[in-house]
Structure 1
Amino acid sequence: MNDLSGILYIVATPIGNLKDITQRALDTFSQVDLIAAEDTRHSGLLLSHYGIKKPFFALHDHNEQEKAAVLVEKLKQGKHIALISDAGTPLISDPGFHLVRQCREAGIAVVPLPGACAAITALCASGIASDRFCFEGFLPAKSKARRDKLEKVAEEERTLIFYESTHRILDTLADMQEVLGEARYVVLARELTKTWETIVGDTVVNLRQWLSEDPNRTKGEMVLIVEGKTKQESEAEFSPLAIKALTLMAQELPLKKAAAIVAELYGYKKNALYQFGLENL
């Protein structure tokens, strides 16, 4: 590590309620030479609220790989920089990865300041198992790609966490219903820490219906906490006839081939049948 280099501070900012800023974050903003922000106008409102005036440097998804090197050079010259995103913890579905990677490769100190994170805030209030979870960020915008992604995590037993936009929430729940099943339990955490904060949990089909009843319910920043697949759910997914057919075919054929045939005959997903066979036959 170069003792003459500056420090890159990763600073979490509020996800809604400005009072959620930490004292350490405010102290750091006062001490650094520069603030790298996803949206300088948006972040300017936060700093203005606390009477802090510092130079900004725009760092976002479209310029990060190019501009990260510029910031690294400034750090090598001894400048201290704070990295922030529009809201919450930087790098969590936000820019910053390339900058942090380059800093670590250059031996520049990277100091994280903990604080607000929408995913963790939603998880702790969801009532869904929080000891093991997968953060998946935003699902793809197109339905086909979104369903393909959901297929990959359909058998996941850990709790799943997604971010979603107001424009896609109903379509995403429709795809979840199709891929994960209408009985899968989902908690929607909307507008966390803000005036209209709402946390609602139900089966995916009921949650989708509830949102459809009032357009206002689909507005705002959203987090979806999805219960992982349970063993009981896996066992109840297949009919006794399908399980018997899989058992008999697996005695004569490789399990993967047997699962593909039974899936075709009974309309199930072959990967789910194959997994069931691995665990039960």
Structure 2
Amino acid sequence: MPESPEVQALADFLAVRTAGLRVRDVDVIEFRVVKTRERPPSTLVGARVRGASRHGKHIALTFDDGRILVISLGRHGWIAWHDDREAEPLADDAPPALARIGFDGGSAMEATDAGSWVSLGIFVVDDPADVPAVAKLGPDPADPGFSRADFDRAFAGRRKQVKAILQEQESIAGVGNAYSDEILHAAKVSPVAHASCLDAAALDRLHAATVDTVRDAIAARRGIPIDQLKAAKTAAMRVHGRAGQACPVCGGQIREFAFASTTADYCPTCQTGRSLLE
């Protein structure tokens, strides 16, 4: 699942590569991705890109006439970039392109989706907040204005598991399954602990880990080619996807726990008082 550090790197890449380019053609291969049927992406032909930005896990391209193309990457979506219109096609094992936007000069971007069901969404709007999922986003830990008050509104006193809150986009924007595992490990908090049961010290650690993990990852991904971001993210994980390996802090064995339609990778020694989650 794309998460804010990688999506921010993607937005930065597109901001540089697309600025000033005019849309030459649009090809929608899978029409289910178009969520604004009265304003399909084909209406952007002739418009010039002014900039690119990130909203949670969503990418927004702003055009000179004020319209905005929002791409919701969903669970398995991503963007592939071609500098040459005649570039070699993607490898056989690459995710399929569901939409393609060509620009004057021959460059093009493809919106891909690697899932077994279509989670990618494309919107043409006047404001990113016209996209319901963007309108509902909570505060973003990457934002310099993210405050302890923002964090407390998301967590303090809630009778809900902290891992679920971290992934709840209405509470904290941009964090998914992988970075929630990393945050909880850094904070030494169990993924199944209820926020209302955390003492002040645990909340302090969780707040610091949330901010530091997201911002450090964004800094680490900066400048990495977009087709290498997934590999860079995987390589940087300390506990997520590392079940059976040694914890980098204590040397204990990292465990995987499946619950509530998700999974968590955690260290029993660091996070659960040596108890195994079942």
Q: Pick the TM interval, shorter chain.
A: under 0.3
TM-score between both structures, scaled by the size of structure 1: 0.23
Answer 1 or 2: which has greater helix percent. Answer: 1
Bigger radius of gyration among the two: 1
